[in-house]
A and B are shown apart, each in its own frame.
Chain A
Amino acid sequence: MLSEKYHQEIQAILAKYPPDQKRAAVMPLLYLAQRERGYITKQAMNEIADILEITSTEVASVIGFYSLYYDEPSGKYHIQVCDDLPCALRGAEQFLARLCENLGIKVGGTTADGLVTVEAVTCLAGCDKAPMFQVQTSDGLAYYENQTVESALELITSWRKQEEELP
């Protein structure tokens, strides 16, 4: 249960909004739930609905509308490459295609070991340092800029090493 494990954090989130506007806490609570499992489980969705006194359908609609929430498991590391116009003018489309080719996946696909998912996304406000991507994990988000296919593959290799060292 989220409410037991994260009691203090949940109270701190609720305190940011007026007491009669509890629903405003839905987005931060969804991030909290996503951090726990890498995606938002049905159970977490119901629990958030109970905390905020709204229906689980209302919670589900928020998950569906915003692109950074996931309601099913996928790769542990999401590489999200911007291929919008300014990045495309600096070679982002070729970067994305070659990266996927090297990993043996299609855009949107996950590597065979289930570790890495590569997606094309819209503008990340890093236009002057393309090719660039963000990496989303259950721990948060990090930006990687001025990338080459080689530097991206090195990064992935370092994750694989980390995974092997995990108990």
Chain B
Amino acid sequence: MSEYILLRHRDIPDLYRLDVYQQHEGFNGFYKAVTTMQPDAVIDQVKASGLRGRGGAGFPTGMKWAFTDKKAWPHYVVANADESEPGTFKDREILEGNPFQFLEGVAITAYAVQANAAYIYLRGEFWQIAQQLDQHIAEMEAADFLGEKLFGTGYSLRIYTHLGAGAYICGEETALLESIEGKLGQPRLRPPFPPSYGLFGKPTVVNNVETLTNVPLIIGRGVDWYRTQGTEKSPGVKIFSLSGCVNRPGNYELPLGTTFRELIVRYGGGVPYGRKIKAILPAGASSSLIVATEQALDTPMDYENVPRVGAQLGSASVIVIDDSVSIDWLVDKTVRFFKHESCGKCTPCREGTYWMSHLTHRIASGQGTPEDVQLLYDVARQIKGKCLCALGEFSIEAVMSGIERFKDDFDGRVAK
């Protein structure tokens, strides 16, 4: 690995300190944007960078910003720091190690859409991180990087933290907005989408922590530099959270297009106890299961290629499954998670995850019948495409791909 772009604290000690951050290009991008660039020019640069949302959906970031409705005001920026996907722990490292680059990303985004207030929504478990961020925000205010009439211009900005309280669904952007508003974290019917009707009913940009942390160097160092990383269609780096059956779990910042094999074997040190890789969940518990064939292991991890082996890149939370794991057990774990986290608003998800969890439990505990496996698959199929938000849709990915691709594990468990 050459130089870190997002996890820069691994190269630069004490980067969480304002003075150290300032000595290492800190706030160059924000200063350049506010004092020399029109807001739309900032959006154009981010469009040209090819940056896509790193929270999971992969939507082009600049395009998302450009959708912000200019007929309705005020505008808001909301940073999604609700990181709760099983297998995902990248935002936490950014927030702890390189908080000012993230905060600068929030500030540039706010300038680009002319928002004067931004909220950082953190999962409630990040209580300590929220306290640190409050401190960092106060330091930025004292140094005139936040507040009124910044850098002698007419632009003003305040950033606030807001703590969630233990609800995976609040990572869904409209549920997150409801939660800030003091309501139950349940997804809204869309359209309208947040760029026209977001926080407090106003146009709002919602971006993930990792996405925002890319922005300062895109503006500070420029698009040409940024596009030297990654591939033509998927530029930039990505933080891969590697977990499960692997010798060296952890966060790995690598160019998009790095193969599964490189991540798992070269960086992650392979699978312990001399076991074999059986399956990969590339996007946490929300993934389809990839069968770990030689061809799959040599697949580049980017937005274009992961779908070719039957899954999505998503948040790039790579969970490695070795051959000691039975997939019916795994599916029982993921289904139980989604049943617990279903917000209850739409019927297919609420009822579907409930009934799936009964079936997966019965199968995994050895009390199921072959008909239960078929019934589980049928229930999953009926959930597909009918939910209000992605949570319900994600709940069936491991179930359907598990039964389709690892049928023997289920058959073995229900055989009389």
Contact = CB atoms under 8 A, between A and B. Distances in A.
Contact of B182 (A24, A67, A140): A24
* Interface size class of chain B, counting residues whose CB lies under 8 Å from the partner chain: 35 or more
A103 interface: no
B127 interface: yes
Contacts of B321: 89
B128 interface: yes
Given A18-B200, A86-B87, A89-B325, A68 B165 contact: yes
Q: Which residue among A65, A85, A89 has the maximum number of chain B CB atoms within 10 Å of its CB?
A: A85
B43 interface: no
Given A62-B183, A84-B86, A122-B341, A28 B128 contact: no
Contacts of A18: 200
Contacts of A125: 83-84, 88-89, 91-92, 123, 125-126
Interface stretch (B22-30, B156-164, B228-236, B367-375): B156-164
Contacts of B213: none
A23 B182 CA distance: 5
A141 B130 CA distance: 11
Contacts of A90: 243-244, 249
B168 interface: yes
Contact of B165 (A52, A69, A86): A69
Interface string B178-202: 0111111100000000000000100
A94 B165 CA distance: 27
B86 A67 contact: no
B89 A89 contact: no
A30 B285 CA distance: 30
Interface in A58-90: 61-62, 65-69, 84-86, 88-90
B167 interface: yes
A31 interface: yes
A107 to B, nearest CB: 14
Nearest to B324: A89
A155 to B, nearest CB: 17
Interface string B321-362: 100010000100110010011010000000000000000000
A54 B183 CA distance: 11
Contacts of B127: 140-141
Nearest to B117: A18
B124 interface: yes
Contact of B125 (A24, A61, A127, A141): A141
B327 to A, nearest CB: 12
A25 interface: yes
Interface residues of A, number: 40
A128 B250 contact: yes
What is the predominant secondary structure among interface residues of chain A facing chain B? mixed
A126 B241 CA distance: 10
Interface in A37-63: 52, 54, 61-62
Contacts of B337: 84-85, 122-123
A68 B179 CA distance: 14
Interface in A113-158: 121-129, 134, 140-143
Contact of B334 (A26, A69, A85, A134): A85
A8 interface: no
Nearest to B186: A65
Interface in B148-181: 160, 162-168, 179-181
A16 interface: yes
A121 B336 CA distance: 11
A49 to B, nearest CB: 11
A116 to B, nearest CB: 19
A162 interface: no
Contact of B164 (A27, A128, A140): A27
B128 A141 contact: yes
B97 to A, nearest CB: 14
A85 B402 CA distance: 15
Contacts of B124: 66, 68, 141
A141 B88 CA distance: 19
A126 B167 contact: no
B245 to A, nearest CB: 6
Contacts of A61: 184
Nearest to A34: B165
A50 to B, nearest CB: 15
Contacts of B84: 122-123, 125
A11 interface: no
B83 A67 contact: no
B401 interface: no
A21 B181 CA distance: 7
B276 to A, nearest CB: 15
A49 B371 CA distance: 51
A31 B184 contact: no
A134 B165 CA distance: 14
Contacts of B262: none
3 shortest A-B CB distances, which residue pairs? Answer: A66-B165, A67-B166, A128-B249
16 contacts: A23-B183, A24-B162, A25-B182, A65-B185, A66-B167, A68-B165, A85-B244, A85-B281, A85-B334, A86-B86, A122-B337, A125-B84, A127-B88, A127-B249, A128-B250, A128-B251
